[in-house]
Structure 1
Amino acid sequence: MTTPTTQSELSQLFPQPLWQWFEQICAIPHPSKHEAALSAHIQAWAKERGLPVIVDQVGNLIIRKPATAGMEDRKTVVIQAHLDMVPQKNADKVHDFLTDPIEAWIDGEWVKARGTTLGSDNGIGMSSALAILGASDIKHGPLEVLLTVDEEAGMSGAFGLQAGILEAEILINTDSEQEGEIYMGCAGGVDAKIQLPVQWQDADPAHLAYTLSIAGLKGGHSGVNIHLGRGNANKLLARFFAGHAVELGIAISQAQGGSLRNAIPREAQFSFTLPVEKLDLLQQRVAQYQAILQAELAATEPNLRLTISDCTAPEKVLRSNSQQQLIHLINACPNGVMRMSDEVAGVVESSLNVGVVSTAADHISVVCMVRSLIDSGRAYIESQLQSLCDLAGASVQFEGRYPGWKPDNNSPVMAIVKDTYESIYQREPEIMVIHAGLECGLFKKPYPHLDMVSIGPTIRFPHGPDEMVNIKTVGQYWTLLLAVLERIPAK
């Protein structure tokens, strides 16, 4: 069994400048929309070293560094990462993402976090860019570093990037998550925000009040992990109530599940009342359902658990018609892989994640994340959701639509990275398209000339508390990145 080591030892890993930065980043809270403290820290550091810093109108950072001696004639490169991280934690973990540092630790070949997301997505990429800015022994041409805000919660930083700020001709995105793969394209996406108007009635004071919870699911990135067949907590609870709510005389008082539209929900809770005489049957049905799920999901969700717990008796519960609409809406909502790509073998073309369910005074909200490599695929899923909502008496708004990054097989920087990788590691890298929302597609609008590529180390289970980054591959990514910078051609 591996003995965990302490976070202070991170800075001793290779490459030290990168891990020293990552240690600092872990110490400064930076969930999406709360990147100000980390941004201020980086700005102060850059200014101390005489590096020009621009903060644009949406909060993105652009830091410039002159070429090293003899490299002044090279094309300008921008190394790009995002400042924010996904804030996810286990239910039993006491952690405030706005005030508490990430507790990173070394477990054998991996760096992990204690009960929370690690933020290696995209903290490792950000650390590599900052380490290069601070180095005096790395050869490179004119350099820019672009650190965007809010990538994980809406890509507002990439949406807000204005033309005329960047001088670079080449962009290296650091947000991909598999060593040995070079990314040349990504999915586009849109948020689907569903609202179901509901009506309430007085709860029967003679009925018992309980909460049915599902937990122990793996969750993960709603793009990168969507093809793995993991359980969606919102869908799994809705399935139970679709099968047994009428039989048990259940009246729902609250529905809650998931926390981010781009993370597969790991936990959900539905609170309800039921007649006293139905309690034994409830316990039987939950035990039967848990056995069904454990059989169906034995390989993907070995730690799945359903729990019945007492809760405070509610004053109001959903009227029968509203409850039926809610259950049917979530139970029938598409989820998971919708279609595999015909053009790129083994890559998901289109998918949907039923990410967040929440209860308000006059409606219940369901927020989904739609992804597709092609606009028509995304539009078809939007059409399905619109049809479902029309049938269920709900409304849906599609927000934050962003384009995919169309692959360019003739990309010069792609060729450089591929040839460099082969020369270092004596094997061919895989040229890939990722089913996730890299910001590269958005950069093409203000900077259509940019030649782009994405590389990174091996990160497992991003967007969930099981997130981990492989230490060896961080060193391999760093070696590749520095070698590519040295090979950038003249203007």
Structure 2
Amino acid sequence: MSALASLYPQPLWQWFAQICAIPHPSKHEQALSQHIQAWARSLGLSVIEDRVGNLIIKKPATTGMENCKTVVIQAHLDMVPQKNADKVHNFTTDPIDAYVDGEWVKARGTTLGADNGIGMSSALAILGSNDIKHGPLEVLLTVDEEAGMTGAFGIEPGMLQAEILINTDSEQEGEIYMGCAGGVDAEFSVPVQWQPVIAGSQAFTLSLSGLKGGHSGVNIHLGRGNANKLLARFLANYAKVLQLNIAAFNGGSLRNAIPREAEVTLTLPEAQLTELQQKVAEFEAIIKQELSVVEPAIKLSLTKVNAPTQVLTSAAAQQLINILNVCPNGVMRMSDEVAGVTETSLNVGVVTTKENSIQILCLIRSLIDSGRTQIESMLSSLAQLAGVKVKFSGAYPGWKPNPDSPVMAIVNQTYQDIYHKQPVIMVIHAGLECGLFKKPYPDMDMVSIGPTIRYPHGPDEMVNIKTVGQYWELLLAVLERIPEKA
């Protein structure tokens, strides 16, 4: 971590090194929260932990800026816990093994947590500073952003006095975000019936791995492979002809991450083994050719295992295969208003086999409510046709763009003054918390900025070192330009 702590700007990177050392996956942020609270109180700062676990830390204005509008810098405490299959790592107990690789900071075999650890580090570095100019300041650190936005849902009116919110969860330097997608979880529950394994059957695990995965909003338009969908496609093509029986199907780990890996445990008559091996090789060649540009490391492997005690009945197996094969996935529609931005998408994120059912968890995102409800309607129709249940939960609103935002104008002009070029004003196809903050604080003026982060929500996540410095310089300059209260 010493290599990280010596990077520019040092106060930010020193905090990021501390954050990497304290496990903080979604729903397990308490150790990090307590560390931050103890530190803030040692500085004499006001610290509030609300009923859901969010932290609100307040710092008085520096001399001469007492009459400026109050600003809240916002980040989330949690990180996405994703790792490569061969990586031994417990996200609730083990630190992130971060390191410098040229122009980037990466992690060995796991997500890095730059999303949103860099933003959090910038806020904490400012709180701890003695030489940064700013008006009255609040820092809001929310919990559970990545797994349901529990913290943002729990924000109550009156807890913040700020008129301006700077969200730090964007992931491209040179872009200023003024809007984001809303979303909702969709969960299919596919009932299962079991039957005994036929005597003399051979058992194997068919695994699909090597995919890039990534953020199901930011990366969904890149055409990356979805391990759940690809494995379902194999089964749809070959399950009947090879007399395959399914004992379990499991893939993906988070509804907001494109699944990189999936596996199905199956049995078949010994006489079909040679043909199965041939079909696996053929299918691997097909998908490697189709996805050669976006997924060069894709791999399909067959491993012999001990025979299970039961498998799905043929009817239950076919029902599962049909649902997974036909379920929409990926970009549903591109935006007409914002060029190059996905309007509506769906990610078939997690498949889990349980004793009485198989759960399929998806995440719908859309910049417009009607786009989200249309996908909900499609999945409801699919569920009815398939004879299964689907439920929708955790709906959160999008953040409606305000082209006349005063703080966006300040950030825009400040960026031009520092870097002598025009930033890109954007709407992001991801679930920033700003839309939820608008309910208790409808008049709060909001903007979102951040450094360049590549491959968030996956083990290839990395953050560009130079852009962290640029983000820091922009954030500090914006704080210095916040106007006085009317």
Return the TM-score normalized by structure 1.
0.99
Q: 1:106-145 to 2 correspondence within 5 Å?
A: 106-145=100-139
- Letter of the 1:346 partner, please give it: G
Residue 16 (structure 1) aligned to one of 10, 16, 40: 10
Verify: 1:92 aligned to 2:86, yes or no: yes
Residue 428 (structure 2) aligned to one of 415, 425, 434: 434
Give deviations 1:372-420, integer Å, cap 9, x for gaps: 0000000000011111111111100100000000000000000000000
SS at match of 2:241: helix
- Letter of the 1:252 partner, please give it: I
Q: CA–CA distance in 2 between the matches of 1:312 and 1:66?
A: 64
Residue 143 (structure 2) aligned to one of 149, 152, 165: 149
Q: CA–CA distance in 1 between the matches of 2:2 and 2:318?
A: 53
Residue 76 (structure 1) aligned to one of 70, 74, 80: 70
Q: CA–CA distance in 1 between the matches of 2:301 and 2:455?
A: 25
- Letter of the 2:96 partner, please give it: I
Q: CA–CA distance in 2 between the matches of 1:362 and 1:72?
A: 61
- Letter of the 1:68 partner, please give it: T
Q: 1:167-178 to 2 correspondence within 5 Å?
A: 167-178=161-172
Q: CA–CA distance in 2 between the matches of 1:312 and 1:337?
A: 39
SS at match of 1:209: strand
Give deviations 1:111-139, integer Å, cap 9, x for gaps: 00000000000000000000000000000
Unmatched tracts of structure 2, length 5 or more: none
Q: CA–CA distance in 2 between the matches of 1:195 and 1:311?
A: 27
Quote the residue 1:479 is aligned against: 473
Give deviations 1:250-280, integer Å, cap 9, x for gaps: 0000000000000000000000100000000
Tell me by how many angstroms 1:144 deviates.
Answer: 0.1
SS at match of 1:81: strand
SS at match of 2:426: strand
Q: CA–CA distance in 1 between the matches of 2:305 and 2:34?
A: 44
- Letter of the 1:188 partner, please give it: G
Verify: 1:25 aligned to 2:44, yes or no: no
Quote the residue 1:354 is aligned against: 348
Q: CA–CA distance in 1 between the matches of 2:196 and 2:278?
A: 27
- Letter of the 1:145 partner, please give it: V
SS at match of 1:472: helix
SS at match of 1:220: coil
- Letter of the 1:434 partner, please give it: I
Give deviations 1:326-373, integer Å, cap 9, x for gaps: 000000000000000011111000000000000011110000000000
Quote the residue 1:369 is aligned against: 363
Verify: 1:314 aligned to 2:314, yes or no: no
Q: CA–CA distance in 1 between the matches of 2:2 and 2:68?
A: 38
SS at match of 1:353: strand
Percent identity over paired residues: 72
Residue 246 (structure 1) aligned to one of 240, 243, 247: 240
Q: CA–CA distance in 1 between the matches of 2:289 and 2:377?
A: 34
Residue 333 (structure 1) aligned to one of 317, 327, 334: 327
Give deviations 1:73-111, integer Å, cap 9, x for gaps: 000000000000000000000100000000000000000
Quote the residue 1:400 is aligned against: 394
- Letter of the 2:39 partner, please give it: W
Tell me by how many angstroms 1:205 deviates.
Answer: 2.2
Tell me by how many angstroms 1:312 deviates.
Answer: 1.8
Quote the residue 2:203 is aligned against: 209
Quote the residue 2:384 is aligned against: 390
Residue 165 (structure 1) aligned to one of 159, 168, 172: 159
Verify: 1:285 aligned to 2:287, yes or no: no
Give deviations 1:295-326, integer Å, cap 9, x for gaps: 00000000000000011211111111111100
Quote the residue 2:53 is aligned against: 59
Unmatched tracts of structure 1, length 5 or more: 1-6
SS at match of 1:92: coil
Q: CA–CA distance in 1 between the matches of 2:167 and 2:399?
A: 12
Verify: 1:378 aligned to 2:372, yes or no: yes
Q: CA–CA distance in 1 between the matches of 2:205 and 2:242?
A: 14
- Letter of the 1:36 partner, please give it: Q
Verify: 1:425 aligned to 2:457, yes or no: no
- Letter of the 2:237 partner, please give it: G
SS at match of 1:427: coil
Return the TM-score normalized by structure 2.
1.00
Quote the residue 1:345 is aligned against: 339
SS at match of 2:410: helix
Equivalenced residues, count: 485
SS at match of 2:240: helix
Residue 295 (structure 1) aligned to one of 285, 289, 293: 289
Quote the residue 1:3 is aligned against: none
- Letter of the 2:141 partner, please give it: L
Q: CA–CA distance in 2 between the matches of 1:470 and 1:251?
A: 47
Q: CA–CA distance in 2 between the matches of 1:349 and 1:342?
A: 8
SS at match of 2:440: coil
Quote the residue 1:105 is aligned against: 99
RMSD after superposition: 0.4
Q: CA–CA distance in 2 between the matches of 1:9 and 1:261?
A: 33
Q: CA–CA distance in 2 between the matches of 1:411 and 1:205?
A: 69
SS at match of 1:63: strand
- Letter of the 1:233 partner, please give it: A
Q: CA–CA distance in 2 between the matches of 1:359 and 1:440?
A: 35
SS at match of 2:345: strand
SS at match of 1:355: strand
Q: CA–CA distance in 1 between the matches of 2:306 and 2:363?
A: 33
- Letter of the 2:418 partner, please give it: I
Q: Which moved more, 1:27-36 or 1:313-322?
A: 313-322
- Letter of the 1:477 partner, please give it: Y
Quote the residue 1:444 is aligned against: 438
Q: CA–CA distance in 2 between the matches of 1:311 and 1:121?
A: 38
Tell me by how many angstroms 1:147 deviates.
Answer: 0.1
SS at match of 1:246: coil
Tell me by how many angstroms 1:161 deviates.
Answer: 0.4
Quote the residue 1:4 is aligned against: none
Q: CA–CA distance in 1 between the matches of 2:282 and 2:191?
A: 32
